[in-house]
Structure 1
Amino acid sequence: MKFTKKEVYELVKQIPEGHFFTYSIISKKLGSPRGQQGVAKCLKRHDCDLNTSDNTIIVSDNVYCHRVINSDFSLGGYSFDELGDKSEAKRKRLEEEGIRFEKRGGK
């Protein structure tokens, strides 16, 4: 089953602050269990922005793209590749919302 950008955005809008979904969870909820890449492409095209002065994410239309991560709990990509460390901006925003990250491998 195919899904639309609008369906992805509507589902992502429902993710509460301090929580996250994976691309896989979203694709399954939309009836497309193997549609993770499609979800990622939809979110990459969304109109979020990055404030380069402090590397913070500016959310557009209440679509909280930063609340969607990879199934292995890595942060995954973000649309700001060319602007710097997009995963750091994503991590910062999630931490501000109460998500805590543990260090692995003694780092």
Structure 2
Amino acid sequence: MAELHIVREHTLGLAKARKVAFKWAEQAEQDFAMQCSYTEGRQGDEVDFVRSGVSGQLQVTKDRFELRAELGFLLGAFKGTIESEIVKNLDALLAPATAPKKPGAKKSV
């Protein structure tokens, strides 16, 4: 079995991290047909996820996301692709929101 271990540090605090983790779980259910269960705790939360060939957990704290997953034999061959997709999705959710750029004033010629 292939294993994934992804860690991301953040400065969101627990309340905002929960929102990100919940959104991640919703995306995993929608995009990858995962069955996710979300458990809130005092110091952090846990998202358990499973589908045929994959099982794992996302641990969420005030300053860290830690994902561990086991891939079955068939999906193990795609470990690199699966890992890069998870990293891309998680990083996109953790990216700070950028303010929309205001159009600059145009000079008259």
TM-score for both structures, normalised by structure 2: 0.26
Which structure features the higher share of strand residues? 2
Largest Rg, 1 or 2: 2
TM-score for both structures, normalised by structure 1: 0.26
